[in-house]
Amino acid sequence: MQVNSSTSSLLSQVQEKQESLMEKLASGKKINDATDGAAAQQIIDRLTSEVEGNRQAINNVYDGISVAQVAEGGLGSINDDVNRIRELTLQSGNGVLSSGDRRAIQSEITQLQENISQTIEQTNFSGKPLLSENGSLEFQSGSSAGQSISVNTQDVAAQLNDVLAIDITSGTSIEDALGATDAAIETLGNARGDLGATQNRFESAARSLTQANVNTAEARSRIQDLDFAQAVSQQASNDVLGQAALTVQAQANQQQSQVLSLLS
């Protein structure tokens, strides 16, 4: 009876281990829940939170890069139009031009001014205006509090009032027009420089987050993921142990049957 009890206990242990190995092989994880290792599961949960947080922060950062690029693209287009207005203003200073020539030049200037206003109005990202309001858009750039990068938005129209008011046919002097365009070009250049610096910050954050996520995911994998070769080896060993226990139990049952036969 003692042999049967011991064998049954061994078979039960073998079966439990077999079920555990099958679960691990099916999931590809050596830690599936806290019963496989409470401390390890806590570490895995923490690392998983970091991985998911970094992944979302990376998405935020790339959105921030896109916003800065859209804003910089709008400013670049406006800068081209202001440069053309400056060129036309210089052309209007040619003394041999007739009043009709100057009206034609002003007509192109007006079209450029309208194009600038339209660019300002239409430069937005996901419904957020980028060149028509002063403010900033904040982007969480890390998985922890206090890690954020902002993209500054500007009321560009207010800074280009003098350019948008240039009219060489109704009193705007060449000196005033050139002064307005030069000031606008400087303002636009500073704004584009700020956006370029912001893009660099975002790109640096993206690189750091990506590397951190790779490292964190690797650390989690070392704790959580199953060594398939080792697991298969354990399964084979467990199969042999189970077969041996069954053989022992069969022999014990046979011996018990013979003893009972003799007693009867």
- 147, 95 contact by CB (below 8 A): no
Express each pLDDT in 196-235 by its tens digit. 999 999 999 999 998 988 888 888 777 766 544 554 555 5
- 17, 230 contact by CB (below 8 A): no
Dist CA 21 CA 29 (whole Å): 10
Region 225-251: mean pLDDT is 55
What pLDDT is stored for residue 249 in this prediction?
A: 57
Dist CA 165 CA 50 (whole Å): 53
Express each pLDDT in 16-56 by its tens digit. 655 555 555 555 565 666 566 677 778 877 888 888 888 89
What pLDDT is stored for residue 110 in this prediction?
A: 97
Which string of b and e fits 50-85 if b means at least 16 CB within 10 Å? bbebbeebbebbebbbebbebbbebbebbbebbebb
- 30, 224 contact by CB (below 8 A): yes
Express each pLDDT in 77-118 by its tens digit. 999 999 999 999 999 989 899 999 999 999 999 999 999 999
Dist CA 174 CA 167 (whole Å): 10
pTM score of the predicted model: 0.71
What does DSSP assign to residue 126?
T
What pLDDT is stored for residue 128 in this prediction?
A: 92
Measured between alpha carbons, how far is residue 95 from residues 75, 191, 228 in Å? 33, 36, 87
Region 108-132: mean pLDDT is 95
pLDDT of residue 250 exceeding 80, the answer is no
What pLDDT is stored for residue 216 in this prediction?
A: 86
| pLDDT confidence tier of residue 147, bands split at 50, 70 and 90 | confident
